[in-house]
Amino acid sequence: MPEPFVIVPRTASPADERRRGFAVDVDAVFGELAPHCADERVTDLFVNGATGLFVDRGAGVERVAGWSASEREVRDLAVRLVARGGRHLDDQSPCVDVRLGSGIRVHAVLAPVATEGTALSVRIPRVRAADLDDLCALGALNRVQRVWLEGIVAARENLLITGGTGTGKTTMLAAMLAHVASTERIVTIEDVAELRPRHPHYVALEARQANLEGAGGITVSRLVRESLRMRPDRLVVGECRGEEVRDLLTALNTGHDGGAGTLHASGLAEVPARMEALGALAGMDPPALARQVVSAFAHVLHLEREASGARRLVSAGRFVLRGERLSIEEVRPW
């Protein structure tokens, strides 16, 4: 009688872990930028061709005095970083976004698209908040807000998290997902995978860049459709940026409770217009989009970053219909 076929998990070696992006040798990968990456105060680095290096230590962007590099050195660094993230940067693909180990995100634009020389933007996550308790300790939430948010997760209510750049949308979403019951399956979908919820059963899907022949690309919109065949208990889209909003709304309106997404918006009042703009990209007219959004999302959470660098949950709202158009009402649940 033949031996049964059994799949046995194997323990990955340190080299395997590095290849999978769980670790980054900062000194080897970032070269002259390594000292700034190692600075715990730095959340963002910007290289603008040969014109200079700028960093954000929480109080706004400032130039690093005495730093210089040639355009060739900056371009080579950008190509190396993008390759480390599993994508390619060249004249055929001059704008690329990738994720490295520990959640470091790199965006690069080659010259002449970047007219002053290769532009490199590096986001380094410094807020380590595994759950809502950690966000409370950091001052992003108060205790009343924490209890309310945990109730949203337990009730499996769909939510949209909004805010400007660097306000902590991804951090907030990951912290909330940590409170999902361990018996549930989470599927996250992102253009560049950043969400790393502390949960025993989540599957991360990441969009794929087309190859040099223009084939093989996989969009976020397609991944949302594919995820519906994976029996997710929670469907999460890291950031809605285009036509994938149509597929997400369809999923959330057809029995996929407890889902979530994030959206870039400067204020709660601007969220309806941003949703309409995305709906237009997906071929949805404003009345159709409004009905879908109102029935899909129970809550909107808006985050802001203060001048001191602190990120906070500042307001909440709910979508409503006004004359067949999408609108939003601020609510005060805390």
Query: How confident is the model over 23-52, as a mean pLDDT?
Result: 81
What dotted CATH number matches 28-123?
Answer: 3.30.450.370
Strands 119-123 and 299-305: unpaired
Nearest to 125 by CA among 67, 45, 53: 45
Q: DSSP for 243-294? A: THHHHHHHHHTTT-TT-EEEEE-SSGGGHHHHHHHHHHHTT--HHHHHHHHH
pLDDT digits (tens, 9 = 90+) for 168-216: 999 999 999 999 999 999 999 998 888 889 999 999 998 888 877 777 8
pLDDT surpasses 70 at 283:
yes
Q: How far apart are CA 291 and CA 164, in angstroms?
A: 25
Average pLDDT, the chain: 88
Burial class (CB in 10 A: 0-12, 13-18, 19+), 271: buried
| CB contact at 8 A, 31 and 19 | no
Return the pLDDT at 174: 94
Nearest to 169 by CA among 307, 305, 58, 60: 305
pLDDT digits (tens, 9 = 90+) for 98-142: 888 777 889 999 999 999 899 999 988 776 678 999 999 989 999
Q: How far apart are CA 136 and CA 174, in angstroms?
A: 14
Q: Bridge-partner residues for 330, per DSSP?
A: 317
Domain positions in the chain: 28-123, 132-330
Question: pTM for this structure?
Answer: 0.79
Q: What is the homologous superfamily of the domain 132-330 according to CATH?
A: P-loop containing nucleotide triphosphate hydrolases (3.40.50.300)
pLDDT surpasses 80 at 23:
no
